[in-house]
Amino acid sequence: MANMAPSPDAKPLTLALAGFGTVGSGLGHLLEENADQIRRRSGRSIRIKHILVRNLLKARQYAIPEGAMITRDPETLTDDPEVDVLVELIGGIEDAHDLVDRALDHDKHVVTANKALLAEAGDDLFLKAEQRNLILRYEASVAGAVPIVQALKESLAGNRIISLMGILNGTSNYILSEMTTAGIEFADALQQAQRLGYAEADPTLDIDGHDAAHKLALLIRLAFGVNYPCRSIFVRGIRDIASLDISFAREFNYRIKLIGQVREVRDESGVPHLEAGVFPALVQDTFLLARVGGAYNAVRLDANASGPMFFHGRGAGALPTAGAVLADILAIARGERPNNTGYVNGELPMASIVPSEEWRSRYYVRLTVQDKPGTLRDLAGCMAAEDVSVASMIQKSQIRNLSEGASGVPLVFMTHETSARAMANALMRMSDGGLLEEPAVFHRVL
Ligand code: NAP
Ligand code: HSE
């Protein structure tokens, strides 16, 4: 489709909407609720012609918009010459890839909220869109309603980004917040997040950190203009976070958050490399990131001209996400030109990657040990042997919340900055020396 600036009597923009679940039905609702605003902002109306679903008979959160035809046949959407834009909200990778690829082949612009698709299998789609001069927009795929994609692509284009960290998964943040403030168990909090429409169809993507890693891979592309393959991102989720560690963290004035982080580190010759990971971390109570609760997301970045910046908003849910999808559709309705990756050449170079064992950080370490003379000396010896320096320590005399059958007392350390390799080696020494009653628990500290 050619790019044209709309005139007041421009013809409606015609959408084919793939998916009418949480986000898709939210979009249908917003298109009706904000119809006047849409016309004022784009000079034309927007209508949905086709809706693709798997189950034609399923009850929907919002009604099927008037005039839209519902189908199970993807080609009805991609092959209809009247359709201007395919909106992909089915999720997953394979079917979504086929759908988007075929839509581009049929000269449709594309809007998607699918971070898994773009992060794992998006390269050829970006390339095809560029070659065919089509728009591929994806604001909702990272941090829901928070306009971080547009900010990195356009508003901050005059900056060099130095580092970026954030809370990128609403479901995990909701679970950790509920465990911290309401004392709710992990499994119950996950169920609530699913009921509220925050979780992925496969919620292991949320709790094991892979959804946040997909978003981080997209942010890295936008911020640094390089390809950082998802498989190279260090990922650790929140499945094993224990209430005991949440309450110990509180005693040190920290909260546990699932963090996605990328930062540039320069070697002795000044050559820049990137380290990127998703992991639970202790965040100091006074940091804004620690205050991000529920399904909210946040991104904090540092850039060479602007300095630090903080973005905050709803990271998941029907209407917050649909609002971001609609903004992308409006940009197309206004006749904007493609700027899909934020860089003029869609084929981006590979990132130079720092191995995760070399990252430096402070650590929270919880050990379960026998309460007997000499234990502390032996533990300190293991740390000293790996050059890990302890900043503070608490010991609890009572035995609580340990695994069934385990004996011993919890001993909690905060270390000074050390490498991940040194930390792992010190813990290995303790385990090999028979000092630990249970496997050690350790998290980075921001
Ligand atoms: P959802 O509630 O599970 O809805 C998916 C919809 O797609 C359903 O209508 C489903 O049909 C349809 N569908 C799925 N696979 C299909 C297939 N192979 N062929 C045809 N139709 C198919 O998912 P969602 O939460 O709306 O998420 C949609 C996308 O937005 C995902 O990529 C997700 O990662 C992303 N996203 C979601 C949120 C959020 O808060 N939920 C936020 C940001 C981004 P049936 O209804 O008939 O089953
Ligand atoms: N499942 C995702 C989350 C949806 O919880 O953040 C938003 O991308």
**What does the pLDDT look like over 31-52, one tens digit per residue?**
999 999 999 999 999 999 999 9
Q: Alpha-carbon distance 216 to 166, whole Å?
A: 9
Q: Measure 169 CA to ligand 2 centroid, in angstroms.
A: 5
Which residues, in sequence order, are CB contacts of 226 under 8 Å at separation 6+? 220, 274, 348, 349, 350, 351
* Residue labelled with tokens 């690829």: 101
Residues 8-27: pLDDT tens digits? 568 999 999 999 999 999 99
Residue 90, ligand 1, Cβ within 6 A: yes
Q: Does the pLDDT value for residue 2 go beyond 50? A: no
Alpha helices in 43-169 (DSSP H): 74-78, 94-105, 115-121, 123-131, 148-150
Q: Alpha-carbon distance 320 to 198, whole Å?
A: 11
Range 371-384 average pLDDT? 92
pLDDT in the model for residue 393: 86
Q: Does the pLDDT value for residue 434 go beyond 50? A: yes
Q: What are the backbone angles phi and psi of residue 443, rounded to the nearest 5°? A: -135, 150
Which residues, in sequence order, are CB contacts of 391 under 8 Å at separation 6+? 362, 413, 414, 415, 416
Tokens read off for 20: 């009418």
Residue 173, ligand 2, Cβ within 6 A: no
Burial 26-46 (b: 16+ CB within 10 A, else e): bbbbbbeebeeebbeebbbeb
Ligand 1, atom 16: closest residue by C-alpha? 90
Q: Does the pLDDT value for residue 403 go beyond 80? A: no
Instruction: Work out the pLDDT band at 1, boundaries 50, 70, 90.
Output: very low
What domains lie within the chain, and their CATH numbers? 13-141 (3.40.50.720), 160-313 (3.30.360.10), 356-445 (3.30.70.260)
The number of helix segments (H) and strand segments (E) in the chain equals: 15, 17
Q: Measure 22 CA to ligand 1 centroid, in angstroms.
A: 7
Residue 17: nearest ligand to its CA? 1
Q: Which of 141, 169, 214 is the best mutation target for the ligand 2 pocket, counting ligand atoms within 8 Å of the beta carbon and taking the most?
A: 169
Cβ–Cβ < 8 Å for 92, 74: no
Q: Note if 49 is an active site residue.
A: no
Secondary structure (DSSP) of 27-43:
HHHHHHHTHHHHHHHHS
Residues 68-118: pLDDT tens digits? 999 999 999 999 999 999 999 999 999 999 999 999 999 999 999 999 999
Q: Which of 117, 138, 171, 173 is the best mutation target for the ligand 2 pocket, counting ligand atoms within 8 Å of the beta carbon and taking the most?
A: 171
Q: Measure 18 CA to ligand 1 centroid, in angstroms.
A: 8
Tokens read off for 301: 């970045």
Residue 75, ligand 1, Cβ within 6 A: no
Cβ–Cβ < 8 Å for 392, 415: no
Q: Which of 215, 257, 372, 396 is catalytic?
A: 215
Tokens read off for 269: 């010759």
Cβ–Cβ < 8 Å for 28, 65: yes
Cβ–Cβ < 8 Å for 207, 179: no
Residues 305-335: pLDDT tens digits? 999 999 999 999 999 999 999 999 999 999 9
Residue 320, ligand 2, Cβ within 6 A: no
Residues 145-162: pLDDT tens digits? 999 999 999 999 999 999
pTM of the full structure: 0.95
Residue 55, ligand 1, Cβ within 6 A: yes
Instruction: Return the amino acid letter for 231.
Output: R
* Residue labelled with tokens 């546990």: 256
Q: Measure 15 CA to ligand 2 centroid, in angstroms.
A: 24
Q: What are the backbone angles phi and psi of residue 399, rounded to the nearest 5°? A: -95, 115
Residue 199, ligand 1, Cβ within 6 A: no
Which residues, in sequence order, are CB contacts of 285 under 8 Å at separation 6+? 253, 254, 255
Atom of ligand 2 minimally distant from the CA of 115: 8
Burial class, 118, CB count within 10 angstroms (exposed 0-12 / middle 13-18 / buried 19+): buried
Ligand 1, atom 30: closest residue by C-alpha? 113
Cβ–Cβ < 8 Å for 399, 407: yes
Tokens read off for 128: 């095809």
Q: Alpha-carbon distance 244 to 438, whole Å?
A: 14
Q: Alpha-carbon distance 266 to 118, whole Å?
A: 28
Q: Measure 376 CA to ligand 1 centroid, in angstroms.
A: 52
Residue 208, ligand 2, Cβ within 6 A: no
Ligand 1, atom 15: closest residue by C-alpha? 90
Q: Which of 17, 52, 89, 169 is the best mutation target for the ligand 1 pocket, counting ligand atoms within 8 Å of the beta carbon and taking the most?
A: 89
Atom of ligand 2 minimally distant from the CA of 321: 7
Instruction: Return the amino acid letter for 115.
Output: K
Q: Alpha-carbon distance 343 to 434, whole Å?
A: 54
Q: Alpha-carbon distance 177 to 172, whole Å?
A: 8
Q: How many residues in the chain?
A: 446
Minimal CA–CA distance to 209: which of 245, 255, 166, 259?
A: 259
Residues 204-223: pLDDT tens digits? 999 999 999 999 999 999 99
Tokens read off for 49: 């012609």
Minimal CA–CA distance to 420: which of 236, 154, 167, 211?
A: 236
Residue 206, ligand 2, Cβ within 6 A: yes
Alpha helices in 132-257 (DSSP H): 148-150, 170-181, 186-195, 204-207, 210-224, 243-251
Residue 113, ligand 1, Cβ within 6 A: yes
Residue 198, ligand 2, Cβ within 6 A: yes
Range 155-183 average pLDDT? 97
Coil, helix or strand for 50? Answer: strand
